[in-house]
Amino acid sequence: MLKYVGIEEKRVLLSAIGVLTFSAGVLAYLYWGRGVDLPGCVTDVAPYQEASVKRLGDQQVEVKYLAKMWAFEPAEIQVKPGTELLIYLHSADVNHGFHIDGTNVNLMAVPGAVNFAKLKVTREGDYPIVCHEFCGAGHQNMAAVIRVRESAGPDAIIPVPLAQSAAPSGGSQKSKLTPIVAAQAQKLLATKGCIGCHSADGKVLVGPSFQKIFGRAEKLSDGSEISVTEEYLRESILDPNKKIVSGFQPLMPKLPLADDELETLISYLKEQK
């Protein structure tokens, strides 16, 4: 059959075959020669709607990450050096990126599919995770972290203070929250994605800052003025786009929140005054 092919075509064919063979060779070398895990789409794990962290053995932890606008769940885990992480990734809404800084783990979170990568963490320190796929207004705040510590507890999960940015502002006012409620609230703020859009330090992100929010006078987009009460907070969480603070866009999604989670968030927000 090759006799019907001209010199030029032959040359093109040969170089195409050459490039293909070379690429396959590089992949094979990385996989077998260098032990690099090629991230792949896994088909034996069904898409899930809840993130989870599970210890599989002394040195192995399975993490099912859920990416959603605009947070990763779990936002933070803590493991000992030498742990092998089996990382699953799924998206609850749009496409998100997932890159673990300082490693070759680079995945896409895709709705309808679960992706997988393996990572052995050897050095102590923080491995930040960022979203590298533009996914909307809160994209640049979408991050998580893997903390590798000799002191890590057995369950790999950090129950208390998550993102620094969600910490209550200032130490001057006395908080009426018990430490447990405060910790639960901060965990919710991180895992439900609140801190992707609402800062705790007054910085204006996608939505109004939580700093001193309680009792604050807000001008709404319809020109009216309100002061932030418990009732307003409740309404704004349950029906986020009913009233929009002037200067902001109606972007907040309705969150799947249990009743007690709603109460926890409200009691936290009431302390931000």
- Residues lying near ligand CUA in the complex (CB under 6 A) are found at 70, 96, 131, 133-135, 139, 142
**Least separation in angstroms between CB 43 and ligand CUA:** 23
- Cβ of residue 201: shortest distance to ligand CUA, in angstroms? 22
CB of 40 vs ligand CUA, minimal distance in Å: 21
Phi and psi torsions of 214, nearest 5°: -75, 125
What is the rounded CA–CA span in Å between residue 76 and residue 221? 36
Helix (H) or strand (E) segment spanning residue 206: none
The DSSP code for 175 is P
Least CB distance to ligand CUA at residue 172 (A): 35
DSSP E strand stretches across the chain:
40-42, 52-57, 60-68, 71-73, 76-79, 84-91, 96-100, 106-109, 114-120, 125-130, 143-148, 217-219, 225-227
In 3D, which of 159, 157, 192 has the Cα closest to residue 53? 157
Least separation in angstroms between residue 135's CB and ligand CUA is 3
Whose Cβ is closer to ligand CUA: residue 114's or residue 213's? 114
Q: Which is nearer to ligand CUA, 144 or 152 (by Cβ)?
A: 144
Q: How far is the CB of 76 from ligand CUA (least distance, A)?
A: 17
Task: Report yes or no: 145 and 74 within 8 Å, Cβ to Cβ.
Answer: no
Burial class (CB in 10 A: 0-12, 13-18, 19+), 130: middle
CB of 137 to ligand CUA, least distance (A): 10
Residue closer to ligand CUA (CB basis): 163 or 233: 163
252 vs 132: CA distance, rounded Å: 21
- Residue closer to ligand CUA by CB (options 15, 249) is 249
Comparing CA positions, the residue from 109, 89, 91, 260 lying closest to residue 188 is 260
Q: Which is nearer to ligand CUA, 142 or 228 (CB)?
A: 142
- Residue with smaller CB distance to ligand CUA, 130 or 177: 130
